[in-house]
Structure 1
Amino acid sequence: MADKVRYYLEQSVPELEDLQNKGLFDKNEITKIMRRRTDFEHRISGRGSKPSDFLRYCQYENNVEKLRKKRYNRLNSVGLIDLKPSISDWAGIRRIMFILDRATKKFPNDLELWNQYLKYAKENGAIKIIYKVYSSLLQLQPRNINAWLSACKYEFEINGNAKGTRILFQRALRINPDNLELWLNYCQFELTYVSKILARRKILSKEINEEDAAELTLPSEEHELDLPEVDIDMLGNPETNPALKGDVALAIFDAAPKTIDVIYKFIELFDKFPDLNDYLNSHVLRYLQREYPDDINTKFIDITLPLKDGEFQLSVNKFIAYQSKNSDKELKNMFIKKLKDYQNEDNQVLLNAIIKKLI
């Protein structure tokens, strides 16, 4: 153990010498830093070490790095420091990464260590390290759903790599085929991607006339849309390209393990995409009518879907049609409760009249 500690400490000597040569730390401070590092190295190398020991070590090194940057900026403001890049400029960050890497290898099941490792790597823009950490984490903990979702989110929202995100979701589902959260997030990703493509098409004015263009408000720089890079001419339109209507998301819906409760969750998800939800919900309704034709939830969903578009009369007509075939008090109570949920100042009189008539 002593040899290992000595080896790691010797690796930091060039960095400390550079800090002293630049005038960022004096000799006494360098000695104190080396003494503290020696204590930490002995602590984390021992058999009784804990994850918290590694985190405290990282916290100490992070404080040293913050102090270095503060002194560097102060000396730089008065022109008293050599601006030529040297080892001390990056050694602090690299050292913290190394400590966290050793920590995750020693305690691979400690999620806090993995989270801190990823957080620090992201804060410092260490893309290669981030990919390395995600790869190791997912190999060691393939059942960790949050890890898969975090990796997918990073790949899509930060890197803008839809293909890579899709591959990650599919790998996750091969290992965790019964996890509803993965299915829903995969579906949401595909719908988000299609929505961004359609938004880009609209912004590029491929299919809008001059009147529409005059009314189109482009996002400000502060709220700029993160749109995917695609060749619009290759996409066709929703009539010729089913993917633009949401058929990929529907394929996910069809493949996912489903119960009535799960179907409700998919409907809630589809409602977040108003440009696509009519087509998506129609598919869900056809599935319900095929698989659960006599279930009260099938009838309820069929009746209430028009309410989302404000088509109250159509909804009432469907309810009356179902009741004429087989009167169902439970269905009536469910429908009335749903109507009350849609009440607002504009339709309160109308819905009150409908509810009163139904009662």
Structure 2
Amino acid sequence: MPGAIGGVLDGYLRHRVARASAADGAFAADVALRVADFTRSGGKRTRGQFLWWAMRACGRGDGPVDAALATAAALELLQTCALVQDDVMDGSATRRGRRALHLDVAARYAPAVGERGAADLGAVAGVLAGDLALAWADDLAAAAQAGLPARVGTRLREVWSDLRTELVAGQYADVHGQVTRSRSPGRALRIARLKSAMYSVERPVHLGAVLAGAGPEEVAGLRRAGRCAGVAFQLRDDLDGVFGDPARTGKPCGEDVRAGKPTYLVAVAHARAAGRGDRVSSDVLERCLGDPDLDDGALAEVREVLVRTGARAAVQSRVERLSARGAEHLERARPTGPGAGRLADLLRAAAGLPPAGSCGAGSCDAGSYDAGSYDGGGTE
């Protein structure tokens, strides 16, 4: 599937870059070509795989293959939009192990125009690159929908429209929580669902089910399964952002802490420290979160607090429970198509768990749930 989606992207992006070059050479080199290169380097094409295998899980035949691949490719461009603009808003230095797009543009012009002018131009290029990726995604999705039966095309457009709105809402909620220093675990879960879970898992699964012509009950069950897996994915990503290896994650460790991101991991630590009257832990969090110059020693203090308060263990447990609940929802939806097993494995993989049946006795035990881990309500 990654190769098939990449093939659609290659042809489409060559055409769009050529059109951009005809409009303006500098724009094509600085923005359009970088959007194309960033999208081509997207890796596993996970969103497209969720779409494809959901369609195969719901359908009895192959389904509308061309429309599915084009919509999957459009999801990759939507991901490009989200990531490059997120890097500008967060001031991120790297993405996927390389220099962030806006900083790459700035580095090109710094010798000629100076650091300040280059930084301003880079930020503008990052925002416009996101806009261009979104426009290309919409055009590709619209072309995919045009060849479908009217009822399916209409449903697909509605889901695509909701997906885009949720993505923007999630990005705003994330920045809003960061600026207002939100510490609510429930709010943090909602941000995780909007910013990542919806467009990374739930909506791609939804799109695939619509392409297969699935009924309302089956669609609802698959969406619930995707929602659980998507939130688990984001919570695991939050853990990786503090405890992960940059060589594996492709981004510097501790960025979320330095930016003061309103993650569920941090919200649980705050709530637990406050509930226990643990002033030492609370003081570390207040002092360190949102400090862009935080050094490795202070980051180690934050990690210690996240472990000592039990926040890390609680989030790990929640990830496992969400994955289990997602499997239950998938079972109740009863998809009987040939892709049902592959879809189940993808949902488990989103939470960082191995495929079903690959664990030794007891090795995949999700563990007991601590009632103090602050349910956000409605996620499961």
- Give TM-score scaled by structure 2 length: 0.29
Mark the structure with the bigger radius of gyration: 1
Higher relative contact order (CA 8 A, sep 6+): 2
